[in-house]
Amino acid sequence: MNNDELSELYKIRFEQDELPRKNAIWQVICGHFLERFIKPSDSVVDVGCGYGEFLNHITAHKKIAVDLNTDVPRFLAEGIEFHLCKATALSSVISGQADVVFTSNFLEHLPDKTTLDSFLEQVMTALKPGGSYLILGPNLRYLPGQYWDFYDHHLGLTHLSLSEALQLQGFTVELCIDRFLPFTTKGALPTHPYLVWAYLQLPFVWRFFGKQFFIVAKKPLIQPILS
């Protein structure tokens, strides 16, 4: 899918008049959950950043957005650095300097597992020793049919298969929540910011409505010496 096609797909899937509601939801998710994994002094990279819903609301010293959609920069807050770049070339943007790499609903768009492995290698290269890769994405285990309702979903992943892939690339999986957020903000569940906040405070409810995994993977402080 080329850049123009990607831009058109975004426009079809993410209606512009829904952006204020999505931004309000992400403000709550960032402020009441994700910020516990990110320090204000951190350098944070969002790969496949969409319209910047995460970076626009997370607190960090340096924010870097990576995407192939040429429309993205006009949605980003002031001070966010944007790179029009393939995910598999992430190390050309940042190498050994990121405290956190974040992806949300991105990995399933990769064409195959070989590309996933290449991307995870790039994430490892981008991160500082001890840095974190935060991953949010649809869990195929709980979405066997709906998962494929999106034209650009190619790679089927569960929390377990992705955890294996991460470990094979040398990451340590520190946290793996198999059921976290609902699949989409367009579902039947209420999405008023207060209700999103209440949902985040009640992990037992995630077991009923969560269809996305949340994984925190760490780059080792000391890289193994290859013989």
At 156-166, the pLDDT tens digits run 999 999 999 99
Residues 6+ positions from 9 with CB-CB distance below 8 Å: 1, 151, 152
Instruction: Report angle CA 59, 64, 69 to the nearest 5 degrees.
Output: 120
- The pLDDT of residue 34 is 98
Residue 3 phi, psi (nearest 5): -60, -40
Percent over 90 (pLDDT), the chain: 77
- pTM of the model as a whole: 0.89
Q: How far apart are the C-alpha atoms of 140 and 162, rounded to whole Å?
A: 11
- For the chain, give every domain's residue range: 3-218
**Could you report the per-residue pLDDT of 129-155, keeping only the tens digit for each?**
999 999 999 999 998 777 777 777 889
For the 3-218 domain, the top CATH level (class) is: alpha beta
